[in-house]
Structure 1
Amino acid sequence: MAQTEAAPREVHVLLADGATVSVRPVRPDDLAEVAAFYDAMSPENLRLRFFTANRRSAEQSAERVCRPACPGRRALLAEAGGKAVGLVEYERLPGTDHADLALAVADRWHHKGVGTVLLEHAASAARSDGVTAFAADALSENRDVLKVFADLGLSIMRRFEGPEVHCLVRLEADETYLAAVEARGRTADVASLQPLLRPRSVAVVGPGRRPGSVGRAILHNLRRDGFDGRLYAVHPVATAVLGVTTYRTVSDVPQALDLAILAVPATAVQTVADECGRNGVRALLVVSAGLDREQGRGLLSACRRYGMRLVGPNCLGLANTEDDVRLDASFAADLPSPGTAGVAVQSGGVGIALLAGLSRLGIGVSTFVSLGDKYDVSGNDMLQWWESDGRTDLALLHLESFGNARAFSRTARRVTRTIPVLTVDAGRTAAGRRAAASHTAAAATPTMTRQALFRQAGVTAARSIAELLDTAALLHSQPLPAGRRVAVVSNAGGTGVLAADAAIESGLRVPPLSPELTGRLLATLPGGAAAANPVDTTAAVSEDKLSDCLAELIGSDEVDALIVALVPTAVATATGDDLTRSVVRTAELHRFPIAAVLPDQAPSVRYLNGQDAAVPAYADPQSAAHALAHGVDRTEWLARPQGTVADLDGIDLERASVMVSSYLSDHPDGGWADPRTCADLLGCYGIPQIPWVWARSESDAVHAARRFRELHAGAVLKAYWPGLVHKSEEHAVRLDLTDDAEVSTGYQDFAERFRGKLAGVLVQPMARRGVELFVGVVQDAVFGPLVMFGLGGTATEVLADHAARLAPLTDQDVHDLVSAPRCAPLLFGHRGAEPVDLEGLGQMLSRLSRMASDLPQLAEADLNPVIARPDGIDIVDVRLRLVPSRAYDPYLRRLR
Structure 2
Amino acid sequence: MTTPEQQPQRPAQYGPSRPVDLPPGYPAEYEADVVLRDGATAHLRPITPDDADLLVAFYARVSEQSKYYRFFAPYPELSDRDVARFTQVDYSDRLALIVTVGDAMIGVGRYERTGRRTAEVAFLIEDAHQGRGLGQLLLEHLAQAAREHGIARFVAEVLPDNRKMITVFTEAGYKVAREFEDGVIVVEFDIAPTDTSFGVMQAREQRSEALSIARLLTPASVAVIGASRREGTIGNALLRNMRDSGFPGRLYAVNAETTEDEIEGVPAYRTIREVSEKVDLAVVAVRAEMAVDVVLDCAAKGVRGLVVVSSGFAEIGDEGRKRQRQLVGLARSYGMRVIGPNALGVINTAPGVSLNATLSPVMPSRGRVAFFCQSGALGVSILADMTGRGLGLSSFVSAGNRADVSGNDLMQYWYSDEATEVVLLYLESLGNPRKFSRVARRLAGRKPVIALKSGRATQGVPLGHTVRRSSLPPATVDSLFRQSGLIGVDTNGELFDVAQLMAHQPLPKGRRVAIVSNSDALTLLALDTVASTGLDVAGEPRTLSAEATAADFGAALSEVFADDRVHSVVVIFTPPVQSNGAEVAQVLAAAAAGSDKPVVSTFLASRSVPEQLRVPDEYGGAARGSIPSYSSPQYAVGALAKVTQYAEWRRRADSSIPDLPDIDTSGAEAFVTEFLQRYPSGAELGDEDRQRLLSFYGISVLPAFPVLSADEAVARAADLGFEVILKATADQWRMRPDLADIWRHIHDEDDMRKAWAEMTSTFGVASDPGRAQFVVQKMAPPGVPVVISAQEDVSFGPVVSFGLSGVATDLLGDRAYRMPPLTTADAAEMVREVRAAPLLYGYRGSDPVDIAAIENLLHRVARLTLELEEVVRLDLRSVLVSADSATVLDTSIRIAPNEKPRQDTPARRLT
Residue in structure 2 matched with residue 412 of structure 1 by the alignment: 440
Residue in structure 2 matched with residue 455 of structure 1 by the alignment: 482
Q: 1:610 to 1:216 in 2, by over 3 A?
A: closer
Query: Do residues 31 (structure 1) and 46 (structure 2) align?
Result: no
Would the aligned equivalents of 1:132 and 1:170 in 2 still touch at CA under 8 Å?
yes
Deviation at 1:732, TM superposition (A): 10
Q: 1:6 to 1:99 in 2, by over 3 A?
A: farther
Deviation at 1:648, TM superposition (A): 2.1
Query: Do residues 601 (structure 1) and 605 (structure 2) align?
Result: yes
Whole-angstrom CA distance in 2 between matches of 1:41 and 1:754: 82
Deviation at 1:631, TM superposition (A): 1.7
Would the aligned equivalents of 2:710 and 2:753 in 1 still touch at CA under 8 Å?
no
Would the aligned equivalents of 2:140 and 2:907 in 1 still touch at CA under 8 Å?
yes
Q: 1:655 to 1:314 in 2, by over 3 A?
A: same
Residue by residue over 1:390-432, the C-alpha shift from the partner in whole angstroms, topping out at 9 and shown as x without a partner, is 2111111111112222222222222222221111132332269
Query: Do residues 534 (structure 1) and 555 (structure 2) align?
Result: no
Deviation at 1:761, TM superposition (A): 5.0
Whole-angstrom CA distance in 1 between matches of 2:438 and 2:504: 27
Identity across aligned pairs (percent)? Answer: 35
Whole-angstrom CA distance in 2 between matches of 1:634 and 1:396: 14
Whole-angstrom CA distance in 1 between matches of 2:326 and 2:594: 60
Residue in structure 1 matched with residue 852 of structure 2 by the alignment: 839
Q: 1:327 to 1:94 in 2, by over 3 A?
A: same
Whole-angstrom CA distance in 2 between matches of 1:472 and 1:718: 54
Whole-angstrom CA distance in 2 between matches of 1:322 and 1:432: 36
Q: 1:732 to 1:167 in 2, by over 3 A?
A: farther
5 Å matches for 1:489-500?
489-500=516-527
5 Å matches for 1:304-315?
304-315=332-343
Residue in structure 2 matched with residue 474 of structure 1 by the alignment: 501
Residue in structure 1 matched with residue 588 of structure 2 by the alignment: 583
Unaligned runs of at least 5 residues, structure 2: 1-25, 314-319, 462-469, 617-624
Q: 1:369 to 1:719 in 2, by over 3 A?
A: closer
Aligned match of 2:830 in 806, 817, 824?
Answer: 817
Whole-angstrom CA distance in 2 between matches of 1:329 and 1:101: 46
Residue in structure 1 matched with residue 120 of structure 2 by the alignment: 100
SS state at 1:795 partner:
helix
Query: Do residues 245 (structure 1) and 267 (structure 2) align?
Result: yes
Aligned match of 2:174 in 148, 154, 167?
Answer: 154
Residue by residue over 1:716-745, the C-alpha shift from the partner in whole angstroms, topping out at 9 and shown as x without a partner, is 24456xxx5874469794533553534765
Deviation at 1:874, TM superposition (A): 0.9
Residue by residue over 1:866-894, the C-alpha shift from the partner in whole angstroms, topping out at 9 and shown as x without a partner, is 11112211112112233320543434211
Aligned match of 1:638 in 645, 650, 654?
Answer: 650
Whole-angstrom CA distance in 2 between matches of 1:66 and 1:756: 65
Q: 1:704 to 1:114 in 2, by over 3 A?
A: same
Residue in structure 1 matched with residue 356 of structure 2 by the alignment: 328
Deviation at 1:181, TM superposition (A): 0.8
Residue in structure 1 matched with residue 699 of structure 2 by the alignment: 687
Deviation at 1:282, TM superposition (A): 1.6
SS state at 1:298 partner:
helix
5 Å matches for 1:214-293?
214-238=234-258, 239=260, 240-291=262-313, 292-293=320-321
Would the aligned equivalents of 1:444 and 1:778 in 2 still touch at CA under 8 Å?
no
Residue by residue over 1:675-696, the C-alpha shift from the partner in whole angstroms, topping out at 9 and shown as x without a partner, is 3332222112111111223457
Aligned match of 1:574 in 564, 571, 579?
Answer: 579
Whole-angstrom CA distance in 2 between matches of 1:815 and 1:410: 19
Deviation at 1:329, TM superposition (A): 0.6
Q: 1:605 to 1:271 in 2, by over 3 A?
A: same
Whole-angstrom CA distance in 2 between matches of 1:549 and 1:6: 71
Aligned match of 1:398 in 422, 426, 430?
Answer: 426
Whole-angstrom CA distance in 1 between matches of 2:833 and 2:407: 28
2:534 aligned partner, one-letter code = G
Q: 1:430 to 1:196 in 2, by over 3 A?
A: same
Residue in structure 2 matched with residue 369 of structure 1 by the alignment: 397
Whole-angstrom CA distance in 1 between matches of 2:323 and 2:215: 24
Deviation at 1:451, TM superposition (A): 1.6
1:534 aligned partner, one-letter code = P
Would the aligned equivalents of 2:879 and 2:888 in 1 still touch at CA under 8 Å?
yes
Greater Cα shift, 117-126 or 243-252: 243-252
Whole-angstrom CA distance in 2 between matches of 1:764 and 1:577: 75
Deviation at 1:715, TM superposition (A): 2.5
5 Å matches for 1:165-176?
165-176=185-196
Deviation at 1:825, TM superposition (A): 3.4
Deviation at 1:497, TM superposition (A): 1.6
Whole-angstrom CA distance in 2 between matches of 1:758 and 1:70: 50
Query: Do residues 127 (structure 1) and 147 (structure 2) align?
Result: yes
Aligned match of 2:105 in 84, 90, 109?
Answer: 84
Would the aligned equivalents of 1:35 and 1:58 in 2 still touch at CA under 8 Å?
no
Deviation at 1:57, TM superposition (A): 8.3
SS state at 2:193 partner:
coil
Residue in structure 1 matched with residue 452 of structure 2 by the alignment: 424
Would the aligned equivalents of 1:608 and 1:615 in 2 still touch at CA under 8 Å?
no
Whole-angstrom CA distance in 2 between matches of 1:704 and 1:636: 53
Would the aligned equivalents of 1:397 and 1:424 in 2 still touch at CA under 8 Å?
yes
Query: Do residues 805 (structure 1) and 809 (structure 2) align?
Result: no
Would the aligned equivalents of 2:798 and 2:866 in 1 still touch at CA under 8 Å?
yes
Whole-angstrom CA distance in 1 between matches of 2:676 and 2:303: 49
Greater Cα shift, 537-546 or 266-275: 266-275
2:592 aligned partner, one-letter code = A
Aligned match of 2:876 in 853, 859, 863?
Answer: 863
Residue in structure 2 matched with residue 616 of structure 1 by the alignment: 628
Deviation at 1:78, TM superposition (A): 1.6
1:735 aligned partner, one-letter code = W
Q: 1:222 to 1:55 in 2, by over 3 A?
A: closer
Residue by residue over 1:185-211, the C-alpha shift from the partner in whole angstroms, topping out at 9 and shown as x without a partner, is 122122222331111121111123321
Q: 1:833 to 1:854 in 2, by over 3 A?
A: same
Whole-angstrom CA distance in 1 between matches of 2:727 and 2:164: 67
With normalisation by structure 1, the TM-score equals 0.90
Would the aligned equivalents of 1:126 and 1:132 in 2 still touch at CA under 8 Å?
yes
SS state at 1:615 partner:
coil
Query: Do residues 22 (structure 1) and 50 (structure 2) align?
Result: no
Whole-angstrom CA distance in 2 between matches of 1:751 and 1:124: 55
SS state at 2:588 partner:
helix
Greater Cα shift, 98-107 or 767-776: 98-107
Residue in structure 2 matched with residue 548 of structure 1 by the alignment: 555
SS state at 1:498 partner:
helix
Aligned match of 2:570 in 548, 563, 588?
Answer: 563
Query: Do residues 180 (structure 1) and 200 (structure 2) align?
Result: yes
Would the aligned equivalents of 2:609 and 2:627 in 1 still touch at CA under 8 Å?
no
Residue in structure 1 matched with residue 62 of structure 2 by the alignment: 41
Deviation at 1:667, TM superposition (A): 4.3
Q: 1:609 to 1:580 in 2, by over 3 A?
A: closer
SS state at 2:537 partner:
coil
Greater Cα shift, 808-817 or 690-699: 690-699
1:595 aligned partner, one-letter code = V
SS state at 1:617 partner:
coil
Greater Cα shift, 55-64 or 184-193: 55-64
Residue in structure 2 matched with residue 73 of structure 1 by the alignment: 94
Residue in structure 2 matched with residue 592 of structure 1 by the alignment: 597
Q: 1:501 to 1:444 in 2, by over 3 A?
A: farther
1:276 aligned partner, one-letter code = C
Whole-angstrom CA distance in 1 between matches of 2:732 and 2:29: 36
Greater Cα shift, 742-751 or 85-94: 742-751
Aligned match of 1:53 in 74, 85, 101?
Answer: 74
Deviation at 1:785, TM superposition (A): 1.5
Whole-angstrom CA distance in 2 between matches of 1:175 and 1:785: 19
Whole-angstrom CA distance in 2 between matches of 1:706 and 1:424: 59
